[in-house]
Amino acid sequence: MFNEVFNHWIPTKIYFSKGISNNLKDYIKGKNVLILSDPFIKDSGIAEKIGDSLTNKNVNYFSEIEPNPSGDTVDLATKLARDHKTDCVLGIGGGSAMDVSKIVACLTTNSGSIYDYYSGGKRKLSSRKTQLICIPTTAGTGSEVTNVGVFTNLETNVKMPMVHDELWPDIAIIDPELTYTLPAVVTASTGMDAFCHAIESYWNKESQPISDYISLGAMKLILENIENAYKEPENIEARTAMSLASLLAGLAFSQTRTTGIHALSFPLTSEFGASHGTACSISLPPFIRLVGKEKSKKMEMLAKFLGFSNVEELAQSIYELMSKMNMPLRLSDLGVEEKDIAHIAEVGLKAQIIQLTPAIMTQETVEELLLSYL
């Protein structure tokens, strides 16, 4: 049932507590702090509230991080970090802000541009000297406990993950309170993204028992709580459970990476404008059915653990859950047409993680799968 050869390493210190983000002073080393966020987190006052609580620190802000952040944005934020001799980078937000904060913290004391180290660059990052603290404001990405950043090269329009041990945050601060104001549509898509992280870790060819048990917990919490969090934004119990689930899912996939669902999400995001969570979860029911056939014993165990009689019931239930949360259910809902299928398969197959799916993933099989939920 379990892979019997595996490694496990998560060096990040995790602190989970409601309200903890208002009280971070004692976690921060040094004087000069740079807070990185997207414009929404800046406008909502979340970034400033955290910054203001850091009495006796010099706090600067960079709040121009866009969805699917580019290397160019990383370089801009890095310039600010260097100018202010930053001791600690705080990344506050969804995956985009946290991903940028990871590489900016590295580049503060590594010269050059992100492109020197990534997307064709040949230089190697030396040890990160600047402290890195990540604080999620959604319940989905799990980026606070991974060594991955995903960036887009604007010149080539390629969105690609960068994986490096220097990208592990020193500290992950999980404060469910920060998610209370998430719009329902974001609650749904980021929450289902977390479900994808967990299930893709569980069925991954590189799966392993430590992350397997953690991912089971994540999936159970999401199925039990996401609808309540979607319907009642201030349901504290549901929000806390979703923040926890996202953390667990992040811990799980940090060890295994993801699979075909994430691989196929890249073209759906960059070319059809779907949010990351939507672009992932749209593929969830068909992938559950596919993997259910290929890895039936382990998938049956999952279905039972989650309270279903079999894998088909689990797939159907996820489909209905997404429907109740008004999420796109078919590729055509994202504007995909039959003529696009071959291209989506082609782009998805370029991501190495697609081969971590426990099923044969070729141009032909992926096209067939995509057509089944066009």
SS3 for 20?
A: helix
Name the DSSP class of 21. Answer: G
Nearer to its own copies, 121 or 217 (CB): 217
Q: Is 7 in the site for its own copies (CB under 8 A)?
A: yes
- Residue 347 CA to residue 151 CA, distance in Å, equals 16
Rounded to whole angstroms, the Cα distance separating 35 from 282 reads 33
Q: Is 212 in the site for its own copies (CB under 8 A)?
A: yes
The count of residues interacting with its own copies (CB under 8 A) is 29
Nearest to 143 by CA among 219, 64, 246: 246
For the CB of residue 174, give the shortest distance to its own copies in the complex, in Å.
10
Contact between 216 and its own copies by CB under 8 A: the answer reads yes
Q: Does 180 bind its own copies (CB under 8 A)?
A: no
By CB under 8 A, is residue 244 in contact with its own copies? yes
Note every long-range contact of 233-238, with CB atoms under 8 Å and residues 24 or more positions apart, other chains counting: 233/180, 233/181, 233/182, 233/183, 233/184, 233/187, 234/180, 236/18, 236/176, 236/180
Show the binding pattern over residues 250-289: x = contacts its own copies (CB under 8 A), - = does not.
-x--------------------------------------
Residue among 81 and 251 whose Cβ is closer to its own copies: 251
* Of residues 199, 311, 192, 210, the one with CA closest to residue 258: 199
Q: Confirm or reject binding of residue 205 to its own copies (CB under 8 A).
A: no
For its own copies, which stretch binds (CB under 8 A), given 5-13, 126-134, 262-270, 334-342? 5-13
Nearest to its own copies of 96, 211 (CB atom): 211
Check residue 8 for interaction with its own copies (CB under 8 A). Answer: yes
Q: Is 14 in the site for its own copies (CB under 8 A)?
A: yes
The Cα-based distances of 361 to 7, 89, 107, 173, 311 in angstroms read 25, 39, 36, 37, 21
Minimum CB–partner distance for residue 121 and its own copies (Å): 27
DSSP 208: -
Under DSSP, the state recorded for 283 is T
Q: Which of 15, 27, 115, 272 binds its own copies (CB under 8 A)?
A: 15
Binding stretches for its own copies (CB under 8 A): 2, 4-18, 208-210, 212-214, 216-217, 240, 244, 247-248, 251
